[in-house]
Amino acid sequence: MHLLAIGTRKGLWLATSRDRTSWEVRGPLLPMTEVYAVAIDPRRPRLLAGTTSSHFGPTVMTSDDLGETWEEPDHAPLSFPEDTALERVWQLALTDDPDVVYAGTQPSALFRSEDGGRTYSLVRGLWEHPHRKDWGAGYGGQAVHTVLPDPTDSKRLTVAMSTGGVYRTTDGGESWEASNKGVKAYFLPDPYPEFGQCVHKVARHPSTPDRLYLQNHHGVYRSSDGGATWDSIADGLPSDFGFPIAVHPHDPEVVYNFPLVADGERFPPGGECAVYRSPDGGESWTALRTGLPDGFWTAVMRDAMCTDTATPAGVYFGSRSGSVYASPDEGETWHRVVEHLPDVVCVRAAEV
């Protein structure tokens, strides 16, 4: 069964399908909470949801029965030192060890769980980094929104934040280095600083961990050396601005992007709903539109596009206008999963 988790500004919806063409949708679950982060662990199976309530604040919920019931720790599972308040969980990342889960938060920080995502400890190496005092807030907040464990080495981890850029560790989080060489920050006096880039999203190929793709605030990039250096791959796209980027689960050369008109508008160029796919690591791009609507005056956010691990691969995205689309054939054709939801802020897919 194919499972699609849809996090919105007012709860979580779960969609299931046998063929990834027709879907049954259930929800809202966790209603009236902002669900900015979802992870699906098909090994248990377990769902994890980073929720924010205007009354109770942020937490991480877990479900071991595909959303029928949810568990929340008695005490806050994530917390900062006393002088800092946790505002939101932006990212939940699984690892090869089913007990180890990472969470990226606002303000920019990384937490690690060793009990399957129920309780977390602050990764102090990043929290105490000397750059932290200069990390700024992007339009959506100052947050670690990308967490990418290396599947071949448990001590290697990549994170990205707005604003601040990409940081890497090779010693399990004890020390971190900025890793933004080649990524432009056009809004700064030095357009190629060590850090300070407004990275929107980074994707890593699961079996080729040195291959990374990055969507910046103006700029689309590829790295073939684990993020040490970055090369522009924006040529051929109608805009170098956007929020999400996703990589094919089986082919590191295939990458998906959803371009938007920059800054003042933030909708697809001409209102044309199109996912762009590159077959060659960003050297060329093709617009994929079969089954997608015209007059699409809305945006797709940084975690609202993903792929699954099936063959052929499925591709999914959700919009701020509450519509979610799925492709069962790597983007060639699209089918609407659901419409009229609240703002979709994250989607995650898995086979369970």
* Domain annotation for the chain: domains and CATH numbers: 83-343 (2.130.10.10)
- Give the pLDDT band (50/70/90) at residue 113: very high
What rounded mean pLDDT belongs to the chain? 96
The average pLDDT across 148-171 equals: 96
pTM of the predicted model, to two decimals? Answer: 0.97
- Residue 264 pLDDT greater than 90, yes or no: no
- Give the pLDDT band (50/70/90) at residue 167: very high
- Residue 64 pLDDT greater than 80, yes or no: yes
- Give the pLDDT band (50/70/90) at residue 84: confident
Euclidean distance between CA atoms 104 and 145, whole angstroms: 6
- Give the pLDDT band (50/70/90) at residue 79: confident
- Residue 90 pLDDT greater than 80, yes or no: yes
The average pLDDT across 16-35 equals: 97
Q: Which of the pair, 82 or 214, is modelled with greater confidence?
A: 214
**What's the pLDDT at 82?**
76
Q: Which pair of tokens denotes residue 247?
A: 């990589």
The average pLDDT across 268-289 equals: 97
**What's the pLDDT at 81?**
81
The average pLDDT across 157-166 equals: 96
**What's the pLDDT at 74?**
81
- Residue 243 pLDDT greater than 90, yes or no: yes
Residue 75 buriedness (CB in 10 A; 0-12 / 13-18 / 19+): exposed
**What's the pLDDT at 297?**
96
